[in-house]
Amino acid sequence: MAGRTLYRKLVDAHTVAALDAEHVLLYADLHIMNEYTSPQAFAGLAAQARRVAASGQNLAVVDHIIPTHAESPRVIRDPASALQARNLRRNCEQHGIPLFDTNDPLQGIEHVIAPEHGMIRPGMVVLCGDSHTTTYGAFGALGFGIGTSEVEHVLATQTLVYRVAGDMRIRVDGALPPGTSAKDLILHIIGRISAQGARGYVVEFAGAAIHSLSMEARMTLCNMAVEAGARGALIAPDAAAIDYVLQRAPDIDAAMAERARVAWQSLHSDADAAFAQELVFDASAVAPYVTWGTSPDQAVPIDACVPRPDELDDPLARAAAQRALDYIGIDAGASLLGLPVQRVFIGSCTNGRIEDLRAVADVVRGRRVAPGVRAMVVPGSGAVRQQAEAEGVAQILTDAGFEWRQPGCSMCLAMNDDVLAPGERCASTTNRNFEGRQGRAGRTHLMSPAMAAAAALAGCITDVRKQEPEPTHA
């Protein structure tokens, strides 16, 4: 019998029925919802007089539309957004679904909350009406985003009609150099393979560089795999992943933990498993990356120059590059070093975890945000916020002049009141730099938390590796 990839093992273990040569009926261990992709799904259930099939295997979070300014209790003042939150609360109460509501002390971004509470475990299938559900691959769980009509189907049946993807393995050898992070690594990979390079595949990340990453860093990597077109991302669970889960799962007692450890350690691709595509990268070649355009694959190392569209052979790529340069407002062939920024945003489901905030604090300790720059730090959850305050990280950030906000998706996308003004340029730790993503005519440059912190201090895009040592005070 031919060996199987980890992805195929997870699909096979959750297949209720094979529907045809390409599709299966897939069982979902956990389904996560937010306020903006679920209303129509619940309306569809009501129209058919259906109940939720497995309320305990569903979870809801208010995160996309919630304001993050310092107000207690928090009030959603936009009428349309407030209606979405009320509808979600009503639907969850009616169907017995747990909800992290607006003023829950543990409220936050869905992809931050679920792992930190031990809800994501190796071998699971996790669905959510949000494309960055790929985050959960960091634990050896198959997570991916679904549409609103599919949300309704999952609510009614706890299953999904699923088209099986292809297998791709990306091996990363070596070690990341000082001053770089998982964010730089994934921008490096996306820049090499393009925003469609993993289209139709579930990517398994492997190699020494991957397993040396922290769990937070692995979540960043898997989170942004979707920006290369991947339908999912996976990392075989190792001791670090298993320990992370067991430390956060109070329902798993000692006896069950030993059985879980044995089972989870078996979740890996067979030695003779075949992948349709295999790519290899060298982590030591990764530098701090910054996007120059309006797609995550339009990125360059900070010490490189923006490409020239007239040097691209493909006329479509040439036109797209020129459009991106026109929108972002920079010249072909220019360096990004020294490009002024007016805003800095640190947060999102990509980089809003405690490790990210510690990295920012390490850069800004004893320094001040540059005049004319508005810099915001938005923790990914209430738990992250509490931990940052307990560790003194929050105090370092506020002493440096950063705004310390309440948890939420915030300026990752323009669905709340944290938005860029037209023409404002932002150093951002988010996952997408599309036109208007952070506000109409706003200009977004994706980078790591450390690079965004350095930009806040310098007032321009700069190389964090060149930063002077921390100032000392007599």
Q: 392 to each of 10, 105, 396, how far by Cα in Å?
A: 41, 19, 6
- Known binding residues for [4Fe-4S] cluster: 349, 409, 412
Residues 60, 57: Cα–Cα separation, whole Å: 10
- Known binding residues: 349, 409, 412
Q: Taking CA 220 as the corner, what is the angle to CA 214 and CA 221, rounded to the nearest 5 degrees? A: 90
Residues 231, 215: Cα–Cα separation, whole Å: 21
Residues 461, 408: Cα–Cα separation, whole Å: 25
Q: Is residue 375 exposed (0-12), middle (13-18) or buried (19+ Cβ within 10 Å)?
A: buried
DSSP output for 47-109? HTT---S-GGGEEEE--SS---SS-SS----SHHHHHHHHHHHHHHHHHT--EE-TT-TT-B-
Residues 56, 262: Cα–Cα separation, whole Å: 26
Beta bridge partners of 282: 173
Q: 296 to each of 52, 184, 433, how far by Cα in Å?
A: 37, 11, 6
Q: Is residue 22 exposed (0-12), middle (13-18) or buried (19+ Cβ within 10 Å)?
A: exposed
Contacts of 311 (CB under 8 A, 6+ apart): none
Classify strands 15-18 and 23-27 as parallel, antiparallel or unpaired.
Answer: antiparallel
Residues 194, 295: Cα–Cα separation, whole Å: 9
Q: Is the Cβ–Cβ distance between 442 and 317 less than 8 Å?
A: no
